[in-house]
Homo-oligomer: A and B are copies of this chain.
């Protein structure tokens, strides 16, 4: 396994791999890897000849006042996880390597980015789309693997790839949860024992929504109200949003129909956690 810190070295490796006819698989991450990332890495290991994992806490996708500085980092751990899972190349540049002091070009998805997390985190998806476009241009993957926990991010990346004609297949894998149902996230690190218990409310609310839908509930408002009740029972929980939308367009509607994304963001203490499910509603 090689650890690469510069764009020039990374491009050199990509050129060599391409001229050997190798396909590249990429798993872009912010590091602090958990079993969710491992599931992406394992999939990517089978999907490409050369497996690249990027570890980059991208300053551009953190808004002012967010947790960029204290976002958890542990390179030693990340390297050992990658080594154990057959990663060929870790791309681990410094922010100064990725962004010139006079960097001024951004990739902006202007429709899907407007709702859900895009409302609470203005500029976040601009940062995501820009860094992902850069990584795709540097690493030229045939396939890139993302997690469904970041449902909106996955949709936006697919849109960017389509709209800018980037030649890469985007694979989105199911959210990995701990035994209690909590979606794995590097930000779970922020939770103390009580908060970790309270954090289960995200999954509980989504599970309730799923039950309501399968028992015939079609009123968006009623679903959201009952989800809110579940979350508001928890002392350290504060709802950022609960949204019920079309799973492709992210348009909201009063009535649940078709393929529906139920997504939420909840502050548990200082940690802002997100989770979602997609439910398919059969026409009567």
A residues lining the B interface (CB < 8 Å): 7, 11, 100, 102-112, 129-130, 133-134, 137-138, 159-160, 162-167, 249
Q: Report chain B residues within 8 Å CB of A105.
A: 107-110, 129, 159-160, 162-164
Contact at A107–B104, with CB atoms within 8 Å?
no
CB distance from A32 to the nearest CB of B (A): 24
Residue of B whose beta carbon sits closest to that of A166: B137
* CB-CB under 8 A for A133 and B164, given A107-B107, A108-B108: yes
CB distance from A201 to the nearest CB of B (A): 33
Could you show 27 A-B contacts with beta carbons less than 8 Å apart? A7-B165, A11-B167, A100-B162, A102-B249, A103-B163, A104-B111, A104-B112, A105-B107, A105-B108, A105-B109, A105-B129, A105-B159, A105-B160, A105-B162, A106-B107, A106-B108, A106-B110, A107-B107, A107-B108, A107-B164, A108-B108, A130-B164, A134-B164, A134-B165, A137-B164, A137-B166, A138-B165
A256 to nearest B CB, angstroms? 22
Most chain B beta carbons < 10 A, residue from A100, A130, A137 = A137
Distance A111 CA – B103 CA, assembled complex (angstroms): 9
Contact A104 B109 (CB under 8 A): yes
Docked complex Cα distance between A130 and B167 (Å): 16
Complex Cα spacing A100 to B111, Å: 13
A169 to chain B, nearest CB (A): 14
Minimum CB–CB distance from A170 to chain B (whole Å) comes to 14
Other A-B pairs beyond A104-B159, A105-B109, 8, CB < 8 Å: A7-B165, A100-B163, A105-B159, A107-B108, A134-B163, A134-B164, A134-B165, A137-B165
Instruction: Please pick, from B11, B102, B108, B111, the residue contacting A111 in the complex, using a CB distance under 8 A.
Output: B102
CB distance from A45 to the nearest CB of B (A): 25
CB-defined contacts of A133 to chain B, threshold 8 Å = 164
Alpha-carbon distance between A249 and B165 when the two chains are bound, in angstroms? 30
Residues of B close to A104: CB separation below 8 A: 109-112, 159, 163
A90 to B29 Cα, complex, angstroms:
39
Separation of A56 and B108 alpha carbons in the complex (Å):
23
Which residues in B have their C-beta under 8 angstroms from that of A112? 104
Contacts of A7 in B (CB 8 A): 165
How far, in Å, is A226 (CB) from chain B's closest CB? 32
CA distance A137 to B162 in the complex (A): 11
